[in-house]
Amino acid sequence: MEPFIELQHIIKLKGTRPIIKRVSSIFNGGETTAIMGFSGCGKSLFLKIAAGIVPPDRGTVRFHGENIYDMDPGNIRLFRKGNGFAFQDAALWANKSVFQNLALPLQFHFPELSAAEMNGRIGKILDQSGYRDSPNLRPDQLSMGERKIVSFARAMVTDPDILFLDDPFSSIDHHTIDRILNLLKRKKEEGVSIIAVSHSAELVSKLADRIIIMHDGRIIEQGQVNTILNTTNPLSSEILAKVFTKPEAFDSAILDILGDDDFRL
């Protein structure tokens, strides 16, 4: 797999205090990476830096070798067109309806789409994501779970090659999680790269190729799922245990990954 996003020696400061501490990582095309760690360890910020949303104070983020934060407007537009970001708190535009939240990225990147094509595309992705309410509602009329679904649909609506998902399954019911997981599985099979901050055992077991474990603004471990799940690092084990001791984690998929003998978390 070809490396497509490369973060080198990333430092992010809050005032004078570093909150991301000289972090480096490489994301390969078509791969699914799960970023895990305790709350406040810098996972979401790391994801936003990788997605080119928050610039680092030091270090570089390269997309196919080109620094994201130095790209010319044409290339940055192409980069954005090819990726979608679902926010942890949904971050839907409050003054727009659900439909308009999904229509704006389409209008911006695909101005040639007719109204009928746009309606069709938005209706399809909302249905696939499991959104059942009216597309004319405003975000403040939705539950947190519904907002997260719409945020996910907004990330997917432009049919991106890279998906950045920040804790995509929190506040969402299991039925909808299954639906989204199946959709992500299909996208993965089509070659879409997924980088997700998640503590979902299902996402790790069914989709992830790599795991990054963060603690206190640093990456303490990163590698293929099987390698990381057999870690001897006590901190990594503690973080993984929090995920895999949940009852829903004991499904066939995770046991397949670990093997009965290896399941020692």
Partner 1 sequence: MITSLGRWFNRKVVAFFYAMGYFFQVLKETIKFIMSRHVGLKVLRMQILFTGVEALGITAILAVSLGAVIIIQGVSLLPQFGQGQLIYTILITVITRELGPLLTAFIIIARSGTAIATELGTMTYSHEVEAYISVGINPIAYLVVPRVLGVTISLLLLNIYFNLFGLIASYFVTQFFTTVQFLEYFRNLLQTLTTSDIFSSLIKSVVFGVIISTIATFYGLHLEQSSTEIPIVVIKAVAHSVVVLLLADVFITLIYYM
CB of 108 to partner 1, least distance (A): 6
Counting other chains too, the contacts that 246-249 makes at CB distance below 8 Å and 24 or more residues apart are: 246/201, 248/174, 248/201, 248/202, 249/201, 249/202, 249/205
- As separate numbers, helices (DSSP H) first and strands (DSSP E) second, the chain gives 10, 10
The reply on whether position 76 binds partner 1 by CB under 8 A is yes
Q: Looking at beta carbons only, is 89 or 216 nearer to partner 1?
A: 89
Comparison of 74 and 234: residue with beta carbon closer to partner 1: 74
Q: Is 245 in the site for partner 1 (CB under 8 A)?
A: no
Question: What DSSP designation does 6 have?
Answer: E
Which of 37, 42, 56, 84 binds partner 1 (CB under 8 A)? It is 84
Chain-centroid distance of CA 104 in Å reads 20
Q: Among residues 80 and 187, whose Cβ is nearest to partner 1?
A: 80
Nearer to partner 1, 135 or 139 (CB): 139
Q: Which is nearer to partner 1, 46 or 87 (CB)?
A: 87
Cα distance from N-terminal residue to C-terminal residue, the chain: 30
Rounded to an integer, what distance in angstroms lies between the CA atom of residue 235 and that of residue 222?
13
**Is 141 near partner 1 (CB under 8 A)?**
no
Note whether 115 binds partner 1 by CB under 8 A: no
Question: Do β-strands 83-86 and 162-166 pair in parallel, antiparallel, or remain unpaired?
Answer: parallel
Question: Would you state the torsion angle of the CA atoms of residues 28, 38, 51, 244, taken in this order, to the nearest 10 degrees?
Answer: 40
Check if the beta carbon of residue 208 is closer than 8 Å to that of residue 220. no
Residues in contact with partner 1, shown as a per-residue x/- string from 27 to 66 under the rule CB under 8 A: ---------------------x--xxxx------------
Q: Which of 108, 132, 178, 256 binds partner 1 (CB under 8 A)?
A: 108
The footprint of partner 1 on residues 144-203 (CB under 8 A) is 154-155, 158, 164
Determine, following the binding rule CB under 8 A, whether residue 206 of this chain makes contact with partner 1. no
- CB neighbourhood size of 144 (10 A): 12
Which parts of this chain interact with partner 1 (CB under 8 A)?
48, 51-54, 76-77, 79-81, 83-85, 87, 89, 91-94, 104-105, 107-109, 154-155, 158, 164
